[in-house]
């Protein structure tokens, strides 16, 4: 199916063309169509030979595929890549919370504690956040 044309549509177009052209002009136009098809094949063959000459026989066609630069595919692969493995916790470190350095004194100067999550934990969700 090229350009939405099926075999039935092509046959109908051919019959209409045959009726419009008539028996006297039909052989001439059929020969012109045959020449056009032969010229197209020749151009494609020349282009194929030239490409083979310039690129060589050992071409990796995947590197020349423009679909590899599709932004949707790039983002999907980046999001689905496995994250790098987490470093094991240092011996004696707290399992759930870590306090910023210098936060030993309680009061206004103390830094807020950060919660450390392990794989599989569900992070908190703020429904009022934008």
pLDDT in tens, 73-120: 888 888 887 666 666 665 655 444 444 444 444 555 556 677 777 888
According to DSSP, residue 114 is labeled E
3-state secondary structure of 130: coil
Given this model, what pLDDT does residue 32 score?
A: 93
pLDDT at 111: 60
* Distance separating the N- and C-terminal Cα atoms of the chain: 48
Question: What is the C-alpha separation between 118 and 84, in angstroms, rounded?
Answer: 14
Predicted pLDDT at 80: 80
Strand-pairing partners, residue 97, are 115
Task: Give 26-82 pLDDT, tens digit per residue.
Answer: 889 889 999 999 999 999 999 989 988 888 878 787 787 888 888 888 888 888 876
Contact (Cβ atoms closer than 8 angstroms) between residue 110 and residue 125: no
Give the Cα separation of 99 and 106 in Å (integer): 12
Number of H helices, E strands in the chain: 2, 2
Residue 114 · residue 100 · CB < 8 Å: yes
Domain ranges of the chain: 1-58
* Reported pTM: 0.40
Q: Residue 115: phi, psi to the nearest 5? A: -90, 130
Residue 31 has a pLDDT of 94
> Which has the closest alpha carbon to 97: 111, 110, 116, 122?
116
Q: Round to whole Å and give the CA distance between 116 and 123.
A: 10
In this predicted structure, what is the pLDDT of residue 104?
47
């Amino acid at each position: 199916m090229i350009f939405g044309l099926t075999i039935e549509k092509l046959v109908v177009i051919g019959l209409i063309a045959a009726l419009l052209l008539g028996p006297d002009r039909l052989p001439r136009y059929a020969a012109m169509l045959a020449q056009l098809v032969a010229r197209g094949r020749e151009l494609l063959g020349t282009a194929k030979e030239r490409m083979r000459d310039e690129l060589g026989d050992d071409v990796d066609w995947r590197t020349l595929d423009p679909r590899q630069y599709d932004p949707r595919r790039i983002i999907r692969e980046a999001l689905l890549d496995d994250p790098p493995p987490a470093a094991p916790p240092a011996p004696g470190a707290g399992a759930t919370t870590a306090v910023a350095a210098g936060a030993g004194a309680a009061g206004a100067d103390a830094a807020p504690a950060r919660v450390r999550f392990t794989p599989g934990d569900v992070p908190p969700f703020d429904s009022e956040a934008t």
